C-alpha cells in the first residue's frame, strides 16, 4: 500500500456506546471460544480423570486407616479422631466417585463464564475516549503503519502509532486486533463510523480478520 489513507470520524456519546457494546461482543466471543478449547482439551480432561482417580484412591486408603484405628483403638494416635476422619474420607470418596456427573454441570457453567470480565474490559477500552467526547478522530495509514490523531476544539494531537498486524475482528463501528486468533486480550482498538474502508485496508495488507456476526 503506497498511498496514504485518512479515515475521519466524529466520536460522540452515541458512537462510544455502540463501540463499547461491540467490543464486549467481540471479547465475549473470543473468551467463549477459549473456554471451549480449554475445557475440551486433552490436557484438561486427562488431568481431571487422573485427579479423580487419585482422590478415590486416597479416600479409600483413608477409610481403611480409620476403620483399622476403630477396630484397634489402642494403636490410634491421640491427635487422630478416627470417627471424624472416617466421615470425611467417606464424603470425599463419594464426591470423587460421582464427580463425572457433577463435572458436566460445572464445566458447562465454566464454558459460559467470562461475561462480567469481558464487560469490564470493554469499558476500560473506551474509558478515556468516553471522558473526552465529543471529539474528532483521524487514522492515517501508510503501508502497515497506522497513526491515530485526536482533535478537540481545533487542537489536534497524535495519540499513538502502531503496526497493523495480528488478527482482527471487525464490527460495524470498531476493530479489535489480537496477536493471534486464539488470543483473548486485544492489542489495539480502532473506532470509526463506517468500517468499509478499514476492511479494504486489512484485505490489502493481508491481515487475517473476520467480521462480527
Residues 50 and 104 in one domain: yes
Residues 46 and 99 in one domain: yes
Tens digit of each residue's pLDDT (9 = 90 or more) over 129-180: 999 999 999 999 998 899 999 998 889 999 999 999 999 999 999 999 999 9
Range of the domain at 193: 5-27+124-211
pTM for the whole structure? 0.77
109 is written with which cell numbers? Answer: 457453567
117 within a domain of the structure (yes/no): no
Residues 128 and 207 in one domain: yes
144 is written with which cell numbers? Answer: 502497515
Q: Which 8-state DSSP code applies to residue 195? A: -
85 pLDDT above the threshold of 60: yes
Residues 137 and 204 in one domain: yes
CB 21 within 8 A of CB 118: no
Q: How many domains does the chain have?
A: 2
11 within a domain of the structure (yes/no): yes
Residues 136 and 155 in one domain: yes
1 pLDDT above the threshold of 70: no
Amino acid at each position: 500500500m503506497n498511498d496514504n489513507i485518512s479515515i475521519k470520524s466524529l466520536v460522540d456519546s452515541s458512537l462510544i456506546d455502540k463501540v463499547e457494546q461491540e467490543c464486549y461482543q467481540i471479547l465475549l466471543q473470543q473468551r467463549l471460544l477459549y473456554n471451549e478449547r480449554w475445557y475440551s482439551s486433552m490436557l484438561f480432561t486427562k488431568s481431571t480423570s487422573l485427579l479423580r482417580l487419585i482422590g478415590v484412591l486416597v479416600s479409600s486408603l483413608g477409610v481403611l486407616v480409620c476403620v483399622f484405628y476403630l477396630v484397634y483403638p489402642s494403636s490410634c494416635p491421640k491427635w487422630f479422631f478416627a470417627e471424624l476422619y472416617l466421615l470425611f474420607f467417606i464424603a470425599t470418596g463419594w464426591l470423587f466417585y460421582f464427580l463425572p456427573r457433577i463435572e458436566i454441570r460445572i464445566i458447562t457453567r465454566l464454558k459460559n463464564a467470562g461475561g462480567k470480565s469481558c464487560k469490564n474490559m470493554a469499558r476500560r477500552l473506551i474509558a478515556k475516549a468516553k471522558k473526552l467526547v465529543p471529539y474528532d478522530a483521524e487514522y492515517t495509514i501508510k503501508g502497515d503503519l497506522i497513526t491515530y490523531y485526536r482533535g478537540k476544539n481545533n487542537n489536534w494531537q497524535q495519540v499513538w502509532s502502531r503496526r497493523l498486524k495480528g488478527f482482527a475482528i471487525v464490527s460495524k463501528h470498531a476493530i479489535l486486533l489480537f496477536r493471534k486468533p486464539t488470543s483473548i486480550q486485544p492489542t489495539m482498538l480502532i473506532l470509526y463510523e463506517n468500517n468499509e474502508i478499514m476492511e479494504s485496508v486489512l484485505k490489502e495488507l493481508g491481515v487475517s480478520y473476520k467480521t462480527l456476526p
